[in-house]
Structure 1
Amino acid sequence: MAPSGCLRVQEVHSDESAEITSYLNRVYRTEVDVRPLTRQPGRRLRVDHRRVSSSTFALESVRHDGDVEVRAEAAMGSVVVLWPVEGRAESQVGGRAGRAAAGELIIGSSAAEPVRIRTSDATLQTVVLDRRLLVEAAGDVGHVRPADVSFTGAEPVSASAGRALTAARRYVDDFVLSGDGPATPLVLAAAGRLLAATALAAFPNTVVTSDRDHLRDRRDVSDQPALLRRAMAFIEEHAAHDVGIGDVASAVYVTPRALQYMFRRHLDSTPMAYLRRVRLEHVHRELVDGDRSTITVTAAAARWGFAHTGRFAVLYRETYGQSPHVTLRS
């Protein structure tokens, strides 16, 4: 199946230099120079590049024959993580260098610095994350200004952190972007947040919460019951939209961490868990009130942001005591 209308597919398979350059400049929205490091008489550089993208992230498959260097002198505005499936890759982002063999991963591009990437007989997979998505994910961790979000190393902090990001990419590729999964706007928003959060956990970065922010967060919860009601009302009103913890915190004028304190103290939950519960209630209503001839469990779940039908079914059964299919048939 082809990707849904919420996704855009772009690709090039060419050994024509002008076509390759034009394509890369277009998808990365900056001037990108690709050149072979070793030249063979009568042989031109061939690039195979396929990108499936939403509004905030993209997954790519890339093939370069031979030894190749990719340069971008201007900032791309997005972070690119590289996985060599075959061959190897090296990156130089600002003053940070990274090396990856097959099965490993590195930061190939930051959002704000020139980039140099070298590959050797490489087949690559990538994740491209819009900087706005990373800022939003960083805000879920604590009180962070946009200028504070940057990566300070090109290699993962640990093998397990790298495996977590690899698993997240595989999940998004298999269940969201494959064309077989329900790539609705809410599902894509959740997938983007998953990739951004695991990228921040995988690589060294500047997302830290100071003691001063921590103390301010505790002061912010002084009016918890009223603020909590407002936060819950905001979530209920905007459950059909792409809502993150930063959006809810801004709506009630507290920091994300203060919001988390409120939900944990009074509801023994989190803002995102409450949002998930509200969305689950909407699915339940659709299944109860819907026409079995026009509605399916998969479509209703996807409409409210549940991409994995198996996990959705487990959550639904835990909440309502029966499978969603039984609800729809009854």
Structure 2
Amino acid sequence: MPTGVGRADTRSYRRLAGTDIDQAMAFFTSDYELRAPSIRRTHADTIWDFAGVTDERMSLRTSRFGVDLRSQSQSDDVIVAWLRSGSSTITFDGRSVDLEPGVPVVLPSERYDLHHRDIGLNLVHLDRGFLTELVGEDSFAFEPLERPDAGGMRIWQETVRRYSSTWLQVDTAMSAVVRHDIASAFADAALRAFPRRSAWRTSVSGSAPEHQRLRKALDYVHAHAREPIGTPEIAAAAGLSPRGLQQSLRRHLDQTPGDLLRSVRLDGALEDLRRAERDETSVADIARGWGFGHLGRFSAAYRSRFGELPSDTLRSRPRR
């Protein structure tokens, strides 16, 4: 630890640089769990460097690697990354995204493919346990690789500008309170800046082809639940046979396609009843809008799921 940092300051500083590719790969492979990396020189003299300041909640890092690198990667941390130079393509869940200079994204929490070319990269690592504790949801996750909107970009950039230089001053001791406040500021900025992953997507983890097809099925059901769809349509959207869809849903979610569709429709009806104006709509209207043709069966299923009748949910809305 640099001179002047007190023992109570748990930050650690690390800086490495060189021209030896084997040394670089030994470091990056252990730090970012690179799997089966493939490297091609892009210059006669390869230059690489890394610097980072880390404690138990967060880490600010910067890296540069002047090669063409293809690999797979994964991390237990929540990582926000943005490109300084070069180019990078991240492929996850059947989708490839080219990182844009200066535009931050949250990297996937599951294994993904990467292709870096003469890359310069800034990264913020947030401890996943610290972040989920702040959110209060163990299943919380960000939607990977989604760019923030203009407001989110502004929030993130302002946080980086305000706190980074203080965090990186490792020659000056920092109290536990200040370290916690800075980590909390970065976590709060991430939560405000980046889209959260929909609950139905976090319910299926893994990046194997079966997981990808099942997420496609879930996406299709949530997008088309108001329409007259059934098992054939859901299976076709996911690239599965009807039997394959049934087996996959049973294996991963312990549901049938009918269970899934009914559950999504009930959730939609709940949200509509919560938002509805009591004098302008009825339970029957909302039930029909979500594909429930029999009001009695809808009310029974609704009560079994949410512990109250749909009419009770509607009555809880105040009159204008």
State the TM-score, normalizing by the size of structure 1.
Answer: 0.52
Cα deviation, residue 96, structure 1: 5.1
Give the equivalent residue in structure 1 for 2:72: 71
Once residues 44 and 71 of structure 1 are traced to their aligned partners in structure 2, the CA distance between those partners, rounded to angstroms, is 25
Give the equivalent residue in structure 2 for 1:185: 176
Superposed CA deviations along residues 231-259 of structure 1, whole A, max 9, x for unmatched, are xxxxxxxxxxxxxxxxxxxxxxxxxxxxx
Cα deviation, residue 77, structure 1: 0.6
Once residues 4 and 149 of structure 2 are traced to their aligned partners in structure 1, the CA distance between those partners, rounded to angstroms, is 33
Name which of 4, 14, 27 aligns with 1:10: 14
Give the equivalent residue in structure 2 for 1:176: 167
SS state at 2:184 partner: helix
Give the equivalent residue in structure 2 for 1:60: 61
Letter in 1 for 2:20: E
User: Where in structure 2 are the equivalents of 1:124-135 lying within 5 Å?
Assistant: 124-135=121-132
Once residues 120 and 129 of structure 2 are traced to their aligned partners in structure 1, the CA distance between those partners, rounded to angstroms, is 28
Name which of 153, 166, 182 aligns with 2:157: 166
Cα pair distance change 1:103/1:3, threshold 3 Å: farther
Once residues 31 and 4 of structure 2 are traced to their aligned partners in structure 1, the CA distance between those partners, rounded to angstroms, is 18
Larger radius of gyration: 2
Letter in 1 for 2:135: A
Q: Which moved more, 1:5-14 or 1:186-195?
A: 5-14
Once residues 46 and 3 of structure 1 are traced to their aligned partners in structure 2, the CA distance between those partners, rounded to angstroms, is 31
Give the equivalent residue in structure 1 for 2:26: 22
Superposed CA deviations along residues 204-225 of structure 1, whole A, max 9, x for unmatched, are 21478x989xx9xxxxxxxxxx
Once residues 162 and 116 of structure 2 are traced to their aligned partners in structure 1, the CA distance between those partners, rounded to angstroms, is 26
SS state at 1:9 partner: strand
Identity %: 20
Letter in 2 for 1:60: R
Residues 25 and 32 of structure 1 are in contact (CA less than 8 Å); yes or no, is this contact kept in structure 2?
yes
Give the equivalent residue in structure 2 for 1:138: 135
Cα deviation, residue 103, structure 1: 1.7
Give the equivalent residue in structure 2 for 1:82: 81
RMSD: 3.1
Once residues 165 and 206 of structure 1 are traced to their aligned partners in structure 2, the CA distance between those partners, rounded to angstroms, is 18
Cα deviation, residue 45, structure 1: 4.4
Residues 4 and 173 of structure 2 are in contact (CA less than 8 Å); yes or no, is this contact kept in structure 1?
no
Letter in 2 for 1:10: R
SS state at 1:11 partner: strand
Cα deviation, residue 175, structure 1: 2.1
Superposed CA deviations along residues 99-137 of structure 1, whole A, max 9, x for unmatched, are 322221222342xx1133333333221101111122022
Letter in 1 for 2:192: A
Give the equivalent residue in structure 2 for 1:320: none
Residues 66 and 121 of structure 1 are in contact (CA less than 8 Å); yes or no, is this contact kept in structure 2?
yes
Once residues 101 and 4 of structure 2 are traced to their aligned partners in structure 1, the CA distance between those partners, rounded to angstroms, is 27
SS state at 2:168 partner: coil
Give the equivalent residue in structure 2 for 1:202: 193
Give the equivalent residue in structure 2 for 1:98: 97
Cα deviation, residue 59, structure 1: 0.5
Superposed CA deviations along residues 260-315 of structure 1, whole A, max 9, x for unmatched, are xxxxxxxxxxxxxxxxxxxxxxxxxxxxxxxxxxxxxxxxxxxxxxxxxxxxxxxx
Cα deviation, residue 27, structure 1: 3.5
State the TM-score, normalizing by the size of structure 2.
Answer: 0.53
Give the equivalent residue in structure 2 for 1:305: none
Aligned residues: 199
Letter in 1 for 2:97: G
Once residues 202 and 194 of structure 1 are traced to their aligned partners in structure 2, the CA distance between those partners, rounded to angstroms, is 12
Give the equivalent residue in structure 1 for 2:148: 157
Cα pair distance change 1:114/1:44, threshold 3 Å: farther
Cα deviation, residue 32, structure 1: 5.2
Letter in 1 for 2:83: P
Letter in 1 for 2:159: A
